[in-house]
Structure 1
Amino acid sequence: MKTAGGYGFYPVVDDVRWVRRFLPLGVRTLQLRLKNQPSPEVRRQIREALAVAADYGCQMIVNDHWREAIALGAAWLHLGQEDLAGADRAAIRAAGVKLGISTHSPQELLNALDATPDYVALGPIYETTLKKMPWSPQGLARIGEWKARFACPLVAIGGITLERAPAVLAAGADAIAVVSDVLRAPDPDGRVRAWLALFREPSARPAPPPDRDDARR
């Protein structure tokens, strides 16, 4: 997985319309996460997203729908723990599809590493309102603990804003997956440009503030 430069900024979107909107701005890694959609609509959106991604040289990552990812020629797939348990790993690998896996606990990390992932996602780093989580925020220290256990890239996710990003990167994350900070921004396009500037110009990043939660540990 490419993470250098703008590739480390990893928006997660719920509709191909965001793909068409963000890729011309310079986004080069993006996950399409389709939930509660009928199969024909899932296939249509994945097919269209892959076509747009090919035009822009974007790492387009399909969430969960491993059968469609294989059938439509996706290069990347992201699976949560439940989907990992039910997926045909042999078929995924035989198709040459690269795999990212979500983790939230040490046991889930073991499950992920058993599948030889191409990247590991860790979250939620901070409190998140996007969806109810049974896990407490991981905090910045967990990023370094995870990184010490594998060589593939680590993607941090969960409650990460542009203002928190420098601390997350300083803690060792290779990429940052972003949902609400972009999709719920008053100006999503402007927010995307600000994120891309952060990743493309490391010298311009502000010094990371101390993490209060970690300081209390």
Structure 2
Amino acid sequence: MSSVNFRLLLVTDRHHTQGRSLVPLLDRAIEAGLQAIQLRERDLPTRELLLLAQEIYAVSSPRSVPLLINDRVDLMMALNLDGVHLRSDSLPTRPIRQLIGSRRLIGISTHSAEDVQRANQSGADYVVFGPIFDTPSKRSFGAPLGLALLAEVCRRSSIPVFAIGGITCDRVAVVRRAGAHGVGVIGALLTRDDIGEAVREFTDAL
């Protein structure tokens, strides 16, 4: 299993950048100390997603910032990215691990204690668990799961758990106290006027 040596995971959504171009924003975030990126642009056709992944990898790779792509093992292999991030109901982990080897990361989005247990048993490197708090971007996944359930899954998980959903700088301390290894953040970083300042605040809080 690859080691998960980051605590701040930026999950991309180019619709949340206040009209700004995504790659220069990510470049600024990396300069400020961003530790990992999950490329999650579900509505992009393959060719455009490939080009975007290439552009991001060009800024993330020289600074050794892991870039994981959602679900697209084919694009991950084609571009030699750092890993893949799976939905709880998407591809099974074991055959992917055989395909990509032990050096690359596999993360899984989870929305229940059962999901987290399955991810532990399947050989994933880490899970993203949420939504912890209410947030517009995660309402399709149901009601917020809350801190008590987060604490329970962290206690029972042998792999790192990242809290996601309504994560602000002020909430970092409570999710860490609940046992979260780190946080997954979308809006609290991408919507900020100065993303570099936001990354530094999160890094300090973590």
The TM-score by the shorter chain falls in which range? 0.7 to 0.9
- The number of aligned residues is 194
C-alpha contact 2:120 2:158 (8 A) present in aligned 1: no
- Whether 2:12 is the aligned partner of 1:13: answer yes
Cα distance in 2, alignment partners of residues 10 and 91 from structure 1: 22
Match of 2:38 in 1: 31
Match of 1:55 among 54, 62, 70: 62
Identity %: 31
CA–CA distance in structure 1, aligned partners of residues 186 and 42 of structure 2: 14
Paired with 2:23 and 2:71, the residues of 1 have a C-alpha distance of 15
Distance in 2, Cα, partners of 1:83 & 1:17 = 30
CA contact (8 A) 1:16 1:46 kept: no
Q: 2:153 aligns with which of 117, 135, 146?
A: 146
Change (3 A) 1:35 1:21: farther
Residue of structure 1 equivalent to 2:17: none
Would the aligned equivalents of 1:11 and 1:179 in 2 still touch at CA under 8 Å?
yes
Gaps of 5+ in 1: 200-217
Q: Tell me how far apart the structure 1 counterparts of residues 97 and 76 of structure 2 sit (CA, whole Å).
A: 9
Kindly indicate whether the alpha-carbon contact (under 8 Å) linking 1:70 and 1:92 is maintained by their aligned counterparts in 2: no
The answer to whether the aligner puts 1:127 opposite 2:134 as a matched pair is yes
CA contact (8 A) 1:28 1:56 kept: no
CA separation in 2, counterparts of 1:182 and 1:65? 24
Aligned to 2:87: 80
- Whole-Å separation in 2 of the counterparts to 1:17 and 1:65: 23
Report deviation, 1:162. Answer: 0.5
What whole-Å deviation, never above 9, does each CA across 1:74-94 have from its counterpart, x for those lacking one?
Answer: 122111123235xx7424432
Higher mean alpha-carbon deviation, 16-25 vs 95-104, is at 16-25
Given the alignment of the two structures, is residue 94 of structure 1 paired with residue 99 of structure 2, yes or no?
Answer: yes
Larger radius of gyration: 1
Query: Whose relative contact order is higher, 1 or 2, with alpha carbons under 8 Å and at least 6 apart?
Result: 2
- Alpha carbon RMSD of aligned pairs, Å? 2.0
Which of 126, 137, 147 aligns to 2:144? It is 137
Q: For residues 94 and 108 of structure 1, what CA distance do their matches in structure 2 show?
A: 22
* Higher mean displacement: 61-70 or 168-177: 61-70
CA distance in 1, matches of 2:85, 2:45: 19
Does the 8 A contact of 1:75 with 1:98 survive in 2? yes
Deviation sequence 1:148-178 (CA, Å, 0-9, x none): 2221111110011101111111111101011
Query: Which SS does the other structure have where 1:164 is aligned?
Result: helix
Q: 1:26: how far off?
A: 1.2
- Report the TM-score, using the length of structure 2 for normalisation: 0.84
Secondary structure in 2 matching 1:151: coil
Partner of 1:2: 4
Which amino acid in the other structure matches residue 137 of structure 1? P
